[in-house]
Amino acid sequence: MKGNRGFSLVEIIVVIAIISVLTGIIAPQLIKYAEKAKVSADIQLCDTVRTAVILMLSEPKIAANTDIDATTQALVTQLTTPGASGTFNVYAVSSNNFMAYDYLNEITGINVFTTTSGQFFKSNPARTNGVLSYKVSEEGLIYIFINHSDNSGEKNDYFVNSNASVSDLGNLICAPVAAINQD
């Protein structure tokens, strides 16, 4: 038993120092992955809303633009007009007669028309001030994106003016294939 000396204080300090250096190297990478996971969740949200918009616009009653309420008709007109842009939360109404409200919210599982849309975003800074928006290109393609977001996960706040071109959406969280051909 006298042959078992254990570890010396110097050996323990060296091991602690090595662990500290490794932690210092690994921790920032793990934080970066956490931010990228939040960005991925928001990209998935945009893709879900894009799919819901495709399904809504292909609904026979809505596609024919007949026998639908005025608010839904206004939204459909915006989504099918080249060059148009806007945010979904401008349609936040208290009326029960809003077909698009029921349709999109049922498909996505969230209230895309809420005035506090930042509540369901995960990425920073979109979590606090993000706005779910759309932009229709001159070719008639619809892009669903989160304004006040950052697709790199670096916590930069990017904003696109409604008059901006589709190419300006590059820094925003946007579904990878967030375009709908209206033809």
pLDDT tens digit sequence for 29-73: 888 888 888 899 999 999 899 889 988 988 888 888 778 888 888
Distance between CA atoms of 70 and 51, rounded to whole angstroms?
23
What pLDDT is stored for residue 67 in this prediction? 82
Segments of the chain scoring below 50 in pLDDT: 178-179, 181-183
Q: At what angle do helices 70-79 and 99-108 cross, to 10 degrees?
A: 60
What pLDDT is stored for residue 176 in this prediction? 54
Q: If we measure between CA atoms, which residue out of 114, 139, 123 comes closest to residue 171?
A: 123
142 exposure class (CB count in 10 Å sphere: 0-12, 13-18, 19+): buried
- Overall pTM > 0.85: no
